[in-house]
């Protein structure tokens, strides 16, 4: 009897669940709150972000803090430095702001330190090492900038919150930052040695790197271990550590591959090909599936992490697939798709059990950064 009741009730609970995600629209200076009820996604609220009238400030990265009380948006453009703005999830009103570096982009908050780690992408600057800003979200103080590589992108914490990972798109490196010591711990060259990366003038780049580091806090640096700068063939754009294994996956946007990194041995353990231009990657919280946007093809790919088998490749609703947020129950992937020109951005919701696109909703132009907020009954 009880068994039967449970069987009957489970679908009812499932039906009554709502999923919420925030998505940033980079060319509209808006953030949309998306509500998905398991069948249909709607834009529940569109929030204007930015502070300068005639300028597009470019909200790029977005994250929700572990408590779910606040969300944070990075504004890529400023005068010239971008900024980080903290919003309340209760009111969707800005509560604090701080200046970061050039083109602040992706970010995440460590569950152990409580700090927010945001890469300064410096997308349009010179090809020289940029950095990761570390912010105390309580006081919204940028504590320090940690120099990494050229065009750092993707910022994800290890499950224990002790290490932050990012990749340098132009120098083709994976960086591991000690989240407590706030310094670079390890650097891994992601180039496939079978390929021939274009070497830049190592002397010049290293001098730039030195200058940059001297300008930052005089802490122990990884100077000696940083290789000469090069124009990466891999062009890594994202890194995601596995939730319960010592493995990370990197999107090789230039080499059309996913690179598996053994974090214990700190070496590339595997590479597998993707469609053209993989951009963001996320892993389901249960650790079973890897989801990746294939930006140049406007598609989303899903792999089984046990055997690296591509389970599905799903066409997104519009072109230029960008970010991924996965629901806490590993059931749905929320995919932001930019669109082109005056087209609206789109959030596609993919069912991770049927591998079908189940709903789409229009948001502001150039939908990019996306973060899962909560699931509630």
Partner 1 sequence: MKNIFLIPILLLFLTTLTAQEKSVISDLDELKLDIGQVYKPVTYSVDNQGKKYDCERVIYYYKKGAFSMTGKVMEFNRAKGTIKAVEPGYHEVVAICYGNGKSIRRTFNVTINYPKVKSIEILSDDQTIYTDTYIPISYKITDEMDVVRDIDYWKSDNAERYFSNLEFSISSSNDKLEIDESNNVLAVKSGSATINVVFDGVKSSKTINIKKNNIDNIDLRFIQKPEKVRTGDVINLKADAYDKRGNIINDVMIEYSFTGKSFDKSNTASGLILQDGRFVGDVPGKYILTASFGNASKSKVINVFQRKVQREVKKIGAGSVNDKHTSDFWVFEGIDKRDYAVTGTWGADGTAYFWDVTDPSDIKKIDSVQVDARTVNDVKVSPNGEIAIISREGASNRKNGIIIIDVTNPFDVKIIKEYTKNLTGGVHNLFIDEKYVYALSAGQKYYILNIEDPKNPYEVGMYEIGKEGQSIHDVWVEDGIAYSSNWRDGVYLVDVGNGIAGGTPSNPVAFGNYTYDSGANHATFPFKSKSTGKFYAVMGDEIFPNGVNPNGTNETAGFLHFVDFSDLENPIEIARYELPGHGSHNYWIDNDILYVGMYTGGVRIVDISGDLLGDLYKQGREIGYILTGTSDGYIPNDTMVWGAQLYKGHVFYSDFNTGIGVAKVSDLKPNNSMTNQYVD
Q: Which residues bind partner 1 (CB under 8 A)?
A: 26-29, 48, 50-56, 58, 77-81, 98-100, 112-114, 123-125, 133, 136, 138-139, 141-145, 180-183, 215-220, 319-320, 338-342, 365-366
CB of 94 to partner 1, least distance (A): 9
Q: Which is nearer to partner 1, 318 or 359 (CB)?
A: 318
CB of 326 to partner 1, least distance (A): 24
Say if residues 248 and 242 touch (Cβ distance below 8 Å).
yes
Q: Which is nearer to partner 1, 155 or 366 (CB)?
A: 366
Q: Which is nearer to partner 1, 170 or 248 (CB)?
A: 170
Q: Which is nearer to partner 1, 284 or 318 (CB)?
A: 318
CB of 12 to partner 1, least distance (A): 26
Dihedral of alpha carbons 59, 289, 267, 157, sign: positive
CB of 143 to partner 1, least distance (A): 4
Structure tokens at 273: 């090909």
CB of 142 to partner 1, least distance (A): 4
CB of 338 to partner 1, least distance (A): 6
Distances (CA, A) of 111 to 65, 208, 242, 345, 373: 9, 33, 16, 31, 15
Distances (CA, A) of 367 to 108, 359, 373: 18, 16, 17
Shortest CA distance to 338 belongs to which of 23, 11, 84, 44?
23
Q: Which is nearer to partner 1, 255 or 318 (CB)?
A: 318
CB of 84 to partner 1, least distance (A): 11
Q: Which is nearer to partner 1, 93 or 377 (CB)?
A: 93
Helix, strand or coil, per DSSP, at residue 201 = coil
Distances (CA, A) of 89 to 13, 65, 94, 152: 24, 10, 10, 28
- Provide CB contacts within 8 A for 372, sequence distance 6+: 19, 20, 21, 64, 325, 326, 327, 328, 334
Q: Which is nearer to partner 1, 138 or 264 (CB)?
A: 138
Residue 67, number of CB atoms within 10 A of its CB? 9
CB of 215 to partner 1, least distance (A): 8
- Provide CB contacts within 8 A for 24, sequence distance 6+: 30, 31, 49, 59, 60, 61, 62, 73, 367, 368, 369, 370
CB of 113 to partner 1, least distance (A): 7
Q: Which is nearer to partner 1, 178 or 310 (CB)?
A: 178
- Can you tell me the distance from the alpha carbon of 321 to that of 354, in angstroms, rounded to the nearest whole number? 20
Q: Which is nearer to partner 1, 38 or 114 (CB)?
A: 114
List Cβ<8 Å contacts ≥24 apart for 302-305. Answer: 302/333, 302/350, 302/352, 302/355, 303/258, 303/272, 305/242
- Can you tell me the distance from the alpha carbon of 369 to that of 59, in angstroms, rounded to the nearest whole number? 8
């Amino acid at each position: 009897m009880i068994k039967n009741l449970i069987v009957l009730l489970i679908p009812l609970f499932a039906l009554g669940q709502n999923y919420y995600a925030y998505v940033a629209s980079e060319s509209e200076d808006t953030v949309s709150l998306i509500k998905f009820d398991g069948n249909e996604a709607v834009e529940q609220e569109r929030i204007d972000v930015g502070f300068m009238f005639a300028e597009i400030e470019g909200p790029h990265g977005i994250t929700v803090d572990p408590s779910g009380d606040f969300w944070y948006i990075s504004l890529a453009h400023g005068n010239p430095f971008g900024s980080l703005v903290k919003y309340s999830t209760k009111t969707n009103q800005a509560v604090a702001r701080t200046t970061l570096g050039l083109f602040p982009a992706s970010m995440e908050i460590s569950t152990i330190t409580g700090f927010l780690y945001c890469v300064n992408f410096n997308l349009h600057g010179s090809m020289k090492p940029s950095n990761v800003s570390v912010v105390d979200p309580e006081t919204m103080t940028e504590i320090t900038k940690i120099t990494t590589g050229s065009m750092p992108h993707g910022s994800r914490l290890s499950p224990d919150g002790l290490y932050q990972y990012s990749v340098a798109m132009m120098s083709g490196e994976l960086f591991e930052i000690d989240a407590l010591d706030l310094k670079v711990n390890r650097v891994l060259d992601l180039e496939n040695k079978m390929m021939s990366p274009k070497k830049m003038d190592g002397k010049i780049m290293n001098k730039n790197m030195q200058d940059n580091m001297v300008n930052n806090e005089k802490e122990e640096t990884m100077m000696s271990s940083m290789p000469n700068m090069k124009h990466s063939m891999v062009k890594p754009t994202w890194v995601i550590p596995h939730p319960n294994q010592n493995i990370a996956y990197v999107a090789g946007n230039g080499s059309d591959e996913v690179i598996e990194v053994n974090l214990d041995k700190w070496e590339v353990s595997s590479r597998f090909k993707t469609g053209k231009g993989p951009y963001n990657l996320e892993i389901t919280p249960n650790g079973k599936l890897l989801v990746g946007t294939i930006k140049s093809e406007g598609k989303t790919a899903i792999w089984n992490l046990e055997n690296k088998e591509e389970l599905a490749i799903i066409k997104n609703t519009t072109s230029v697939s960008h970010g991924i947020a996965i629901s806490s129950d590993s059931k749905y992937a929320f995919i932001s798709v930019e669109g082109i020109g005056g087209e609206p951005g789109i959030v596609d919701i993919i069912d991770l059990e049927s591998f079908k696109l189940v709903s789409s909703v229009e948001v502001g132009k150039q939908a990019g950064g996306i973060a899962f907020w909560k699931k509630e009954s």
